[in-house]
Structure 1
């Protein structure tokens, strides 16, 4: 069993990698590159927390996190990939997808939210759709976050006991415990059909979240041919002398009460 990564080591290396992500983002803006990163995996596998670390210091106007809700009635009548197309990156953009079109190959299939015909159509169309994206010049990276059944249940119980994180636990999440093998078979089948040379799957062992985040971010950076962009120096000008401006009386403003003073 791999030992948990020490906190000091984790924080130091995370900071270094996040600085490289900032450099990578600058290159994406300058070069007009288009990048999509898919985060997939079992419930409680640590996708969301990894996305937070990836995006923490990035410009939200350049790097967007997409986490789509349950499709509407209208969206259910559309071509399955249609609502994802609207979120694809333009030049100079990065899209991080917290779950993606692979919902159909996982939860929708296992929980019976789609028909067998829709499921098999997806397995046929997904590689075609992804090849089209890559041929268009989009860099598509697909990550699957793996976690053991024991660790998954441990995280579920931790969420259930924490009022700040209980919202992250849904009835479907709990059902995934009883359908562990069904999800395993669905994942194996999905990989057989969609692990293509143009857009292969990369698996992240996320039993230890610290180690998994570091490994995923380091790998992401290794897959993008970015260069460090020299940024022009910015000089902060001296503040000019006052020209007689007087601030309105303090009592005329609706100031937020000083709650902190009561602590």
Structure 2
């Protein structure tokens, strides 16, 4: 009797376990199906050439990092589009301002570098202002930033911007509460004025986790080539994570306006953050391909017969060490 009971109990357990496995399997299949549907929806909005890249990136999503080969290929494609955008900007006289904000070591500088490196520096520049001078402290707060706004056909990238007042100045006590409140009220008006004047204004917040920020800080302490990136202010901000979080939340709440909304970039993975940000910028600029036609160089003119080159031993040359 006891043997029969134990057999029935064991059978019941096995049936229950099998039922649970079936339910779990159904849930898993449902998740996979939803994921496939989401991928299909995303792919539907892409061009044929973009779909191939999307497939490779989607395949790499399971890993912690985007493979370098995929990253470099897609970055090259996006940088070519940035060049096309700059041709259009110059031809149409468009003025573009891109604001990059975020915590220290969030990857703002690296993204800006990838945006500007393929572009003509005459039409694209980076603005990274330091501490205001005693004279600048007496001016209207936005005055020193206005001086760096673009002329027709120019792109300006602000590596930190007037939002210093809402972040570091507020948290570290470099401005009064009255100055902070004045900024929160004035900033949306200032940005609406920029947009009304015809400027395309894009604002990006690079979001990095405290664990990833700590990892990047630690790597900078031992890397002589990047040690300069770690300042005493960075170390101070490291101890004020919550205060900076509250300041960021208030800033986004008060300055996220329809004319110039904030766009958050998930920045724990630097490579993905760069690609996502550049791709988004391109989607927000209504450019068309205005790349000039290929040039045909005329034959080079021969030097005059009476030209005599000075002796090489009378010139100074850089030593050929390599």
Give your verdict on TM over 0.5: yes
Judge conservation of contact 2:84–2:291 (CA < 8 Å) in 1.
no
Partner of 2:319: 257
Residues in 1 aligned to 2:206 and 2:77: alpha-carbon distance in whole angstroms: 22
Residues in 2 aligned to 1:64 and 1:157: alpha-carbon distance in whole angstroms: 30
Partner of 2:161: 100
Please, which runs of 5 or more residues in structure 2 have no aligned partner?
Answer: 1-60
Partner of 1:17: 78
**Mapped pair 1:231 → 2:292:** yes
| SS of equivalent to 1:119 | helix
Which range moves more in the overlay, 230-239 or 84-93? 230-239
The Cα of 1:235 is off from its aligned counterpart by 1.6
Q: How does 1:115-154 map to 2 (within 5 A)?
A: 115-154=176-215
Residues in 1 aligned to 2:293 and 2:110: alpha-carbon distance in whole angstroms: 33
Residues in 2 aligned to 1:239 and 1:247: alpha-carbon distance in whole angstroms: 18
**Mapped pair 1:111 → 2:203:** no
Moved over 3 A (4+): none
Q: Deviations over 1:122-157 (max 9, x none)?
A: 000000000000000100000000000010011111
Question: Which structure would you say has the larger Rg?
Answer: 2
Please, which runs of 5 or more residues in structure 1 have no aligned partner?
Answer: none
Partner of 2:230: 169
Partner of 1:78: 139
Q: 2:302 aligns with which of 226, 233, 241?
A: 241
Partner of 1:89: 150
TM-score (norm 1): 0.97
| SS of equivalent to 2:264 | strand
| SS of equivalent to 1:132 | helix
| SS of equivalent to 2:294 | coil
Partner of 2:121: 60
By relative contact order (CA 8 Å, sep 6+), the higher-ranking structure is 1
